[in-house]
């Protein structure tokens, strides 16, 4: 593994609701305590599920990545990354009260800054936003963007409405203004069932269904004209899987040729738009362990710029210390590990100290 690698997806775990409370405004802190609220952890990653944390990375009590030391020991010492981007998956976007969501979002972002970014200069983070209310979300972006260690805005993959819809656009204007990509991560606001045909029986279906949500979000962002309106905007699909992308682009680009009169602002092929504006983290890749298949899928992507390195620590996506799939063309590794992340996140090239 290259020692300058930039790990674009690692997950700090809020160890307990108690740990967040010091960062919550007094009114809300009192309210949470008075009401006996147990916290807002999302069920998107059940804590004891094997996928949620690789067994050997679990600490006493079963949690993983609850403090800087354990995360750094893996991500920096073992995987040899130089920089890592924290994507906190606390359930801010699930909360039904917009005001409460804002209070928790602020607490999470402040907790990240104080307990993580302040403690290890190699860490960067995504801004968690209350997507329940676009004005609040923009306000939180503005507040956190002043801290240059926040390099991205994070939203969950399953929302109440598709992310291309026009009411979302002020968030994209703010992100573009501050040089922050929008990072879409698995997780649901639970405003819709986990599939478009209802609630499945098994967690494995929940998790697999995020690949469909990413397809839908990409279709929405392109078809609504987000990238025509915000030419400087980058979107990163995090932990999305990769191998579904070529067939999705073939499908939507074919349909676009047939019915593009419906969306005149989409003035070139969706495949080209996606290659200019969208990036994907490489873990999970979702190919069989066959270098030939990996190589063919990489060819189908038709871009050396689109993939970003990520370990997805502590989620169990791979064994050993190398998250990269077998069969990557040799010249591509450096692009994926270093150059593509630097080109995607303008703030990574700044001296943030």
Partner 1 sequence: MNIELREPEVRQKTRLKITDVDIHPKSAIEDLKPYLSKRWWEHIETFGARTRQGFLKGFPYPKSQPLASRRDSWPPGGGLPASDLKFMCKQYLDLYPIEYAIMNPLSPTGQGDQNDEFSAAMAFAANEFQLDGWNARDPRLLASVVVPYEDAEASVVEIKRRAGDKRFAHVLLKSRTCELMGKRRYWPIYEAAVAAGLPVGVHVFGTSGRPASNTGWPSFYIEDMTEHASCCQAQVMSLILEGVFERYPDLKIVMIEAGFGWMPSLGWRLDKNWKTLKAEVPHLKKAPSEYLRQHFWVSTQPMEEAEEPEQLIDTMSWVGWDHIMFASDYPHWDFDDPLNALPPSLNEERRAKIFSENARALYKLD
- The number of residues that bind partner 1 (CB under 8 A) is 72
- For partner 1, the closer CB: 100 or 158: 158
Q: Per rule CB under 8 A, is residue 191 in the interface with partner 1?
A: yes
CB of 293 to partner 1, least distance (A): 8
- Using CA atoms in the order 165, 41, 213, 125, what is the torsion angle rounded to 10 degrees? 70
List the one residue from 57, 248, 309, 313 that touches partner 1 (CB under 8 A).
248
List the one residue from 212, 327, 332, 333 that touches partner 1 (CB under 8 A).
212
- For partner 1, the closer CB: 48 or 97: 48
Q: Per rule CB under 8 A, is residue 197 in the interface with partner 1?
A: yes
Q: Per rule CB under 8 A, is residue 186 in the interface with partner 1?
A: no
* Interacting residues with partner 1 between 316 and 335 (CB under 8 A): 316
| Burial (0-12, 13-18, 19+ Cβ within 10 Å), 197 | exposed
- For partner 1, the closer CB: 4 or 304: 304
Q: Per rule CB under 8 A, is residue 259 in the interface with partner 1?
A: yes
Q: Per rule CB under 8 A, is residue 246 in the interface with partner 1?
A: yes
List the one residue from 263, 332, 342, 343 that touches partner 1 (CB under 8 A).
263
DSSP secondary structure letters along 197-261: TB--SSHHHHHHHHHHHHHHHHHHHHHTTHHHH-TT--EEE-S--STTHHHHHHHHHHHHHHHGG
Q: Per rule CB under 8 A, is residue 223 in the interface with partner 1?
A: yes
How far is residue 121's CA from residue 71's CA, in Å, rounded to a whole number? 13
| Separation in Å, CA 103 to CA 139, 170, 190, 215, 340 | 12, 20, 20, 31, 34
Q: Per rule CB under 8 A, is residue 255 in the interface with partner 1?
A: yes
Q: How many helices (H) and strands (E) are present in the chain, helices listed first?
A: 13, 8
Q: Per rule CB under 8 A, is residue 162 in the interface with partner 1?
A: yes
C-beta neighbour count of 213 within 10 angstroms:
24
Q: Per rule CB under 8 A, is residue 338 in the interface with partner 1?
A: no
How far is residue 120's CA from residue 209's CA, in Å, rounded to a whole number? 35
- For partner 1, the closer CB: 243 or 340: 243
Contact status, residue 184 vs residue 238, Cβ threshold 8 Å: yes
Q: Which stretch binds partner 1 (CB under 8 A): 74-82, 118-126, 137-145, 162-170?
A: 162-170
**3-state DSSP of 129-175:** CCCCCHHHHHHHHHHHHCCCCEEEEEEEEECCCCCCCHHHHHHHHHH
List the one residue from 163, 235, 282, 328 that touches partner 1 (CB under 8 A).
163
Strands (E), 267-338: 278-281, 307-308
CB of 235 to partner 1, least distance (A): 14
List the one residue from 37, 73, 204, 352 that touches partner 1 (CB under 8 A).
204
- For partner 1, the closer CB: 43 or 161: 161
Contact status, residue 19 vs residue 111, Cβ threshold 8 Å: yes
Q: Which stretch binds partner 1 (CB under 8 A): 2-10, 100-108, 129-137, 155-163?
A: 155-163
- For partner 1, the closer CB: 78 or 165: 165
């Amino acid at each position: 593994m290259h020692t300058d690698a930039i790990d674009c997806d690692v997950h700090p775990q809020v160890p307990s609701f108690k740990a967040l409370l010091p960062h919550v405004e007094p009114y809300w802190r009192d309210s949470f305590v008075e009401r006996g609220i147990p916290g807002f952890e999302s069920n998107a990653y059940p804590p004891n599920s094997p996928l949620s944390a690789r067994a050997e990375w679990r600490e006493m009590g079963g949690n993983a990545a609850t403090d800087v030391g354990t995360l750094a020991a893996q991500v920096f010492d073992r995987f040899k990354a130089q920089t890592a981007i924290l994507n906190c998956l606390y359930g801010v976007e699930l909360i039904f009260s917009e005001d409460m969501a804002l209070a928790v979002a602020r607490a999470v972002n402040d907790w990240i800054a104080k307990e993580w970014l302040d403690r290890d200069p190699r860490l960067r983070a995504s801004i968690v936003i209350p997507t329940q209310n676009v004005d609040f979300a923009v306000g939180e972006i503005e507040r956190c963007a002043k801290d240059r260690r926040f390099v991205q805005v994070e939203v969950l993959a399953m929302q109440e409405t598709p992310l291309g819809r026009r009411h979302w656009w002020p968030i994209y204007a703010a992100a573009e203004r501050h040089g922050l990509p929008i990072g879409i991560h698995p997780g649901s606001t639970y405003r819709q069932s986990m599939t478009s045909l209802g609630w499945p029986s098994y967690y494995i279906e929940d998790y697999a269904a995020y690949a469909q949500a990413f397809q839908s979000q990409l279709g929405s962002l392109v078809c609504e004209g987000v990238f025509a309106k915000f030419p400087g905007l980058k979107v990163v699909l995090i932990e999305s899987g990769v191998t579904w992308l070529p067939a999705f682009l073939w499908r939507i680009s074919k349909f676009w040729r047939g019915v593009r009169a419906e969306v005149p602002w989409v003035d070139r092929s969706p495949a080209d738009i996606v290659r200019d504006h969208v990036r994907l983290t490489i873990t999970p890749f979702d190919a069989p362990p066959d270098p030939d298949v990996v190589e063919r899928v990489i060819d189908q992507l038709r871009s050396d710029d689109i993939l970003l390195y990520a370990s997805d620590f502590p989620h169990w996506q791979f064994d050993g210390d190398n998250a990269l799939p077998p069969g990557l063309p040799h010249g591509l590794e450096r692009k994926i590990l270093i150059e593509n992340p630097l080109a995607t996140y303008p703030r990574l090239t700044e001296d943030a100290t």
